Amino acid sequence: MSRHDAGKPEPPAREAWLGEQGSRPRRRRVVLADSTKKSGKALRTIIELEEQTSVGEKLVRDLIRQQLKSAFGIAFAVLIGMCLLPITFYLVPSIGELKILGIPIPWLVLGLAPFPILYGVGWVFRRQAERHERDFVNMVDR
């Protein structure tokens, strides 16, 4: 026994002291990211969006295209609906002669009806825009 080994227990005593697990250390797997939470594809997609690569730009362009498609579709429906009212009153003059509380129907329909209708259309458009954004975020997170 050398003087460097003076304070160390002998090998058989060490195994008895540490037990079986001490003699063979368990292997531990070290990973950079937890694979159950996010996949590599989602991380790569987020990086492409942040760095504004061609793929990230394409994803953002698709989101904008969806938003514009919804906006133009709803605007077209509102435009057609609002333009049909005066045309209907012009083509069917008997409707213009009807009165409620002394006010002609065309004045009521053209003066008061568009406000709740436009409020409802705005609510529907906001819901669609939020749905498109939610779908985009879900697609990026996959």
The tally of domains found in the chain comes to 1
- Position 82 in a domain: yes
Assess contact for 46 and 70: CB atoms under 8 A. no
**Which of 80, 59, 73 has its CA nearest to residue 136?**
59
Q: Containing H/E element for 39?
A: none
Q: Is 108 inside a domain boundary?
A: yes
Is 95 contained in some domain? yes
Question: How confident is the model at residue 89, as a pLDDT?
Answer: 86
Which one-letter DSSP state was computed for residue 110?
H
31 occurs within a structural domain: no
Query: pLDDT tens-digit profile of 73-98?
Result: 999 999 998 888 888 888 988 888 88
Predicted confidence at residue 140, as pLDDT, reads: 73
Residue 80's domain comprises 37-141
- Within-domain flag for 77: yes
**Token couple for 60:** 């953002």
User: Quick one: which H or E segment has residue 104?
Assistant: strand 103-104
pLDDT at 22: 54
Q: Is residue 54 part of a domain?
A: yes
Instruction: Let me know if residue 20 belongs to a domain.
Output: no
- Residue 67 belongs to a domain: yes
Per-residue pLDDT of the chain (142 residues; tens, 9 = 90+): 556 656 655 556 555 555 555 556 667 666 555 555 545 555 666 666 666 777 777 878 888 899 999 999 999 999 998 888 888 888 988 888 888 888 888 888 888 888 999 999 999 999 999 998 888 888 777 6
Phi-psi region of 29 (alpha: psi -120 to 50; beta: other; left: phi over 0): beta
Exposed, middle or buried by CB within 10 Å (0-12, 13-18, 19+), for 134? exposed
